[in-house]
Chains A and B, each alone.
Chain A
Amino acid sequence: DAMVIQNPRYQVTQFGKPVTLSCSQTLNHNVMYWYQQKSSQAPKLLFHYYDKDFNNEADTPDNFQSRRPNTSFCFLDIRSPGLGDAAMYLCATSRGPVGGYEKLFFGSGTQLSVL
C-alpha cells in the first residue's frame, strides 16, 4: 500500500527546460515536504507546506517553487534546471506539526537528470 507516491520515478530534462515533479499521499497528513538528495549526501530540505501555508528554507534557490492544490497533492517546479540540480527529489509527509518529532513518511523519490 503505497502511502506517498512520487511520479515519475525517473525524469530527464534539458538544461533550462522547466520541469515539474509530483507527489501524492493517501495518509491525509497536514505537512508535506520536498527534499533534495544528491549522491552520497543527506537529504536537504527545500520547503514544506503545513496545510496551505508555504514555508521556504532560506537557502533554497528561487529556481525552485512548489504548489499544493489540495491535501493530497504537492508539486515541485524547477523553472530553469541547471546541471547542479541533478539529484534525487524526495517528497515526505507528516501529521504535523512541522519538525523532527513527527515521523516522516517518504516517497521513493524522483531521480532527475539534467542534460
Chain B
Amino acid sequence: QQQVKQSPQSLIVQKGGISIINCAYENTAFDYFPWYQQFPGKGPALLIAIRPDVSEKKEGRFTISFNKSAKQFSLHIMDSQPGDSATYFCATAPRLTFGEGTQLTVNP
C-alpha cells in the first residue's frame, strides 16, 4: 500500500531551468511533509519541509508548494544547477514514509 506517490521517476533539466517534482497522498492525518535529498553513495539529508497550515515555503532556490484540498505537494528547484543532480524523496509524517524517489539530472 503506497501511502505517498511521487512523480516523475526521473527528470532531466538543463542548467538554469526549473525542476518540479510532485507527490500525492491519501491520508488526511499526514501533517508534515519533508523532502530529502540523496547524492550517490550518501545517505539522504533533509532539504526542506512544510506543515499544512501554509501553502508555500521557500528556502533559497528550493520551494515547496502545498495544496491541501488536492492532497498534493511539490518541490520546485529554481535555477537548477548540475550540483543539484541527486535523488529526491518526498515524505510524510507522523510516521515517516518515503515516496519512491525522483532521480534528477541537471545538464550543464
Contact = CB atoms under 8 A, between A and B. Distances in A.
A88 to B, nearest CB: 9
A108 B42 CA distance: 4
Contacts of A105: 45
A99 B91 CA distance: 11
B32 A101 contact: yes
Contacts of B43: 4, 90-92, 106-109
Given A40-B101, A41-B100, A41-B101, A101 B94 contact: yes
Given A41-B101, A42-B101, A101-B32, A109 B42 contact: yes
Contact of B94 (A90, A100, A103, A107): A100
Contacts of B95: 99-100
Interface string B62-75: 00000000000000
Nearest to B89: A42
For A100, A101, A106, A109, which residue has the most chain B Cβ atoms within 10 angstroms?
A100
A40 B93 CA distance: 22
Interface in A73-115: 90-92, 99-101, 103-109
Interface of A is mostly: loop
Contacts, number: 52
A18 interface: no
Interface residues of B, number: 22
A101 B93 contact: yes
Interface residues of A, number: 19
A99 B95 CA distance: 5
Contacts of B93: 99-101
A8 interface: no
Closest 6 CB pairs of A and B: A100-B93, A106-B43, A100-B96, A42-B98, A99-B94, A103-B46
Interface of B: 32, 34, 36, 41-46, 89, 91-101, 103
Interface of A: 4, 40-43, 45, 90-92, 99-101, 103-109
